[in-house]
Copies of this chain bind each other. A is one copy, B any other.
């Protein structure tokens, strides 16, 4: 009896994995709006009834598949804000230029404009992606490299925004020189006296 349950569990796990794998494949190829439960069911060989038993809605399945997109880098600890930022931004630049998620992310942003469930998921993904920057800024604050009255949310926008801009908006190359110039700007801004 125990063994039968175990086999059933394994079968369930295999089906779920097949559905997620196929959803992820469609997601990577076509973006969120290109994922169809009919096609997922047909190509994974798992019936729609079974799919809807595990994920109550298309959004729920998409959220589960998207949450596997993120490969969040560890926060570095080189001893300086400049060093840490260069390392993190270079890792981000490399992911933006090669990782699967970077072609899929605009479809998540787009869906989030109209779907509140997807918006919540995007916020969670974003928070996870940005967490190492928070760590790096806290370390820098403790070392006195960021003035205590500076909002690190503005520093984060100024660190990451230019890279996102190049990847998805201007579609320019994100090279090492660009990343180093951004890190330099952040180091200067973090320590500058506010004009107001």
Contact = CB atoms under 8 A, between A and B. Distances in A.
A168 B109 contact: yes
Interface in A145-179: 153-154, 156-158, 160-166, 168-172, 178
Q: Which of A156, A158, A160 has the most CB of B within 10 A?
A: A158
For this chain, the copies found in one complex come to: 2
Contacts of A158: 158, 161-162, 182, 185
Nearest to A127: B170
A195 interface: yes
A111 to B, nearest CB: 8
A169 B109 contact: yes
8 contacts: A31-B113, A106-B110, A154-B162, A157-B178, A160-B169, A161-B162, A162-B162, A188-B189
